[in-house]
Chain A
Amino acid sequence: MLHIVNKSHRQTTSLASCLRLAQDGHALLLIEDGVYAATTAGAASAGLAEALARLKVYVLRPDLEARGVAAALAEGVTAVDYTGFVDLVAEHTNNQTWL
């Protein structure tokens, strides 16, 4: 299953709830304001290390770049472009966007 989070982990509980309900081996894609969780400054408060230990974590690069944080991408997170986004959706049997 692919989980998509588009809210800052400091603003809403979307990421926390997603991590509580995502099963081991699932994929997580951070987009829009969700990308802050994939930066070195956001990783600790977002619980990124625990997420990386059991999930595949992706981030949408254009959203990192738009926010000026592309250089601060945390280790272990895979940046993808829009084509990669589409591939992720196509590869997984189901997906959920955590509003």
Chain B
Amino acid sequence: MKKFMFVNRKAPYGTIYALESLEVVLIAATFDQDVSLVFLDDGVYELAKGQDTQGIGIKNHSKTYRALDGYDVEKLYVERESMQARGLSEDDLIVDVEVLSSVEMAALMAEQDVVLSF
């Protein structure tokens, strides 16, 4: 089993990255890999509660993060600095995450076998 880290650094609807990342995460989970998701920079906006995309005609994929549990994807990490810079706290996020400092995040990243950026 390899350690796969998915690094999400983009806000949810301006580009397709956030949705594509979710798709690949689900594929990796299907192959029984050690999957972790990281949210950095504008990527923390992907987890914001209360997303309502009716007005822009795009599927609201934020609820999918809640389903990851069912695929045994339970390692979700948010960088504290990125979250705080955007005025968000853990209470504002749609799923339970582990909040890490930049230093802790750096260590976690360095120990991965594969890092995929979105």
Contact = CB atoms under 8 A, between A and B. Distances in A.
B118 A21 contact: no
Interface stretch (A28-36, A66-74, A90-98): A90-98
Interface string A1-42: 100000000000110010011110010000000000000000
Nearest to B102: A20
Contacts of A98: 9, 117
Given A13-B41, A17-B9, A99-B9, A23 B117 contact: no
Interface in B78-118: 81, 102, 105-107, 109-110, 112-115, 117-118
Residue in B9, B17, B105, B118 whose Cβ sees the most chain A Cβ within 10 Å? B9
A91 to B, nearest CB: 15
B40 interface: yes
Contacts of B110: 1, 23, 26, 94
B112 A94 contact: yes
Interface residues of B, number: 18
B41 A22 contact: no
B109 A1 contact: yes
Nearest to B118: A99
A23 B107 CA distance: 7
Contact of B40 (A17, A26, A97): A17
Contact of B113 (A17, A26, A94, A99): A94
Nearest to A93: B113
A99 B81 CA distance: 19
A99 B42 CA distance: 13
Contacts of B113: 94
Given A13-B41, A96-B7, A21 B106 contact: yes
A94 B115 contact: yes
Contacts of B40: 17, 21
Nearest to B7: A96
Interface of A: 1, 13-14, 17, 20-23, 26, 94-99
12 contacts: A17-B41, A21-B40, A21-B102, A21-B105, A21-B106, A26-B110, A94-B110, A94-B112, A94-B115, A96-B109, A96-B115, A99-B9
